[in-house]
Structure 1
Amino acid sequence: MVERDDLFTYIGMHLLCAGESISTAESVTSGFIQFSFSQIKDASQFYRGGMTVYTLEEKVSLLKVDQDEAYYCDCVSSNIAETMALNVAKIYKTDWSIAITGYATPVEKSGGKLFAYFSIAYHGKILISEKLDLLCGTESVNAQLYYTDSILKCLRLELGKQKLPDH
C-alpha cells in the first residue's frame, strides 16, 4: 500500500503544481482508475471525471469510436483506446486523459487470452499507447487491478517528463 500511496501522492502533486486536469474512459477496468483518482488528496482540484463505457454502443455514441472497427475487433485495439483517450479529454476539457479497453476474463474473441490496450493523451496528442498481457489463470479482479496499477505507473513516468512551471 505504501507504493500505491506514493504513486497517488506523486500524481496528485504533479497535476496540482502544473495546474492541469485529467479524465478517464474505461472499459475492462470498469471504474478502478476512476476510483483510484478519487483516493488522491485534493482530487477535485485536477480530476474532472471519467466514464465507464462497457459496450460497443456506448463507445460509439459517447466516445466517437468507429462502429465498424469496433465491431471487427470487439472494441479491443490500440486505435480504439487512442480514440477513447482523445475524445474523453474533449468531453471533460482536460489536459490529460487515460483510456483502456481489453479483457479481464478469457473469451473466444480474445483467443482465450487476457490483454488490454491503454492510451495516455496530453493536450490532444497520444503520448503512450501500449498493450498489457496477462497469464490466462489470473482472476478477473486481479487483472483489473494489474491494469490499473500499470497505467498509473505509466502516467507517473509521463508526468515526470513534463516540466513543471516555476512558482
Structure 2
Amino acid sequence: MAAFPPPALQEAALAVANLLHERGETLSVAETAAGGLISAALLTTPGASKIYRGGATMYTLESRLAFAGWTAADIRAYDGPNPELVAKLARNVRDTLGSTYTVGESGTAGPTASRQSANGQPGYVALAVVSERDVLSRDLNTGLGSDRAGNMVAFATEALKLVAEFLKERSGQGEKI
C-alpha cells in the first residue's frame, strides 16, 4: 500500500497545520478537482481538530449550486476554472464555516481536456486563499499532462503551499498582498 498522503503533500499539510497551530487560527477548504485530497491531507496532521473547520468538494455544477452559493446565472456564465471563480468558492465556504482562512482550488485533472482554452487542459489549476479582507490567488499548470492522479495530488500540494505563502506574507493589517 502506498503511503498517504504522498510525501510532498504531507510536507505541505504539516507546514500549514504548524503555522495555523502557532497562530491559533483555522482553515476550511473549497476544492473541486483535487477531490478531497486537501482536506484529507490536513486531517492526517496531529491536532487537526483545532485547525480544520471543514470543507466541501464541489466537483459538479450541482454541488456548487447546493454548497457554494452559485446561481443559475453563474452556471450560464461558466467557462472553466479561474482564480476569481475559485476565490468566490472559497469566500462562500469561509463565510459558511466561519474559518479564519479558506483555500480553494479548481482545475482540469485530465486525462482529457475539458475545453480548448488553457484552463481546460489537463494540469491547469486555479488556486485562491481568502481571509476576511485578503485574497491571494494564482493559476498554474503542473506540467504533468494527462496524469489524473498526479495532477490531483499536485493541485492539493500547490494549494497548501499557497496557504503557507499567504500566512507567511500576510500583513496583520488586513491589507491585500
Query: Which TM bucket (shorter chain)?
Result: 0.7 to 0.9
From 131, 135, 138, give the equivalent of 1:127.
Answer: 135
Aligned to 2:51: 46
Aligned to 1:109: 115
C-alpha distance in 2, partners of 1:58/1:151? 20
Determine whether 1:81 maps to 2:118. no
Q: CA deviation at 1:17?
A: 2.0
Identity over aligned pairs, percent: 20
Q: CA deviation at 1:7?
A: 3.4
Aligned to 1:96: 101
Runs (5+) with no aligned partner, structure 2? 1-5, 173-177
Runs (5+) with no aligned partner, structure 1? none
User: 19-28 or 57-66, which moves further after superposition?
Assistant: 57-66
Name the aligned partner's letter for residue 161 of structure 1. E
Q: CA deviation at 1:60?
A: 2.1
C-alpha distance in 2, partners of 1:132/1:108? 16
Answer whether contact 1:15 1:21 (CA < 8 A) is retained.
Answer: yes
Q: CA separation of 1:3/1:66 partners in 2, compared to 1, >3 Å: closer, same or farther? A: same
Per-residue Cα deviation, 1:33-73 (whole angstroms, up to 9, x for no partner): 01111111101011011111111121123111343333433
Q: CA separation of 1:66/1:161 partners in 2, compared to 1, >3 Å: closer, same or farther? A: same
Aligned to 1:149: 157
C-alpha distance in 2, partners of 1:108/1:101? 12
User: 57-66 or 146-155, which moves further after superposition?
Assistant: 57-66
Answer whether contact 2:144 2:150 (CA < 8 A) is retained.
Answer: no
Answer whether contact 1:76 1:116 (CA < 8 A) is retained.
Answer: yes
Determine whether 1:140 maps to 2:140. no
State the number of aligned residues.
163
Determine whether 1:118 maps to 2:127. yes
Aligned to 1:159: 167
Aligned to 1:68: 73
Aligned ranges 1:24-43 → 2 under 5 Å: 24-43=29-48
Kindly indicate which of the two structures has a greater share of residues assigned to strand. 1
Name the aligned partner's letter for residue 78 of structure 2. C
Answer whether contact 1:56 1:67 (CA < 8 A) is retained.
Answer: no
Q: CA separation of 1:57/1:120 partners in 2, compared to 1, >3 Å: closer, same or farther? A: same
Per-residue Cα deviation, 1:100-153 (whole angstroms, up to 9, x for no partner): 112101334254612121110012x34211112134634100001111111111
Answer whether contact 2:108 2:114 (CA < 8 A) is retained.
Answer: no
CA RMSD in angstroms comes to 2.3
Runs of 4+ in 1 over 4 A off after TM superposition: 1-6
TM score, norm. by length of structure 2: 0.80
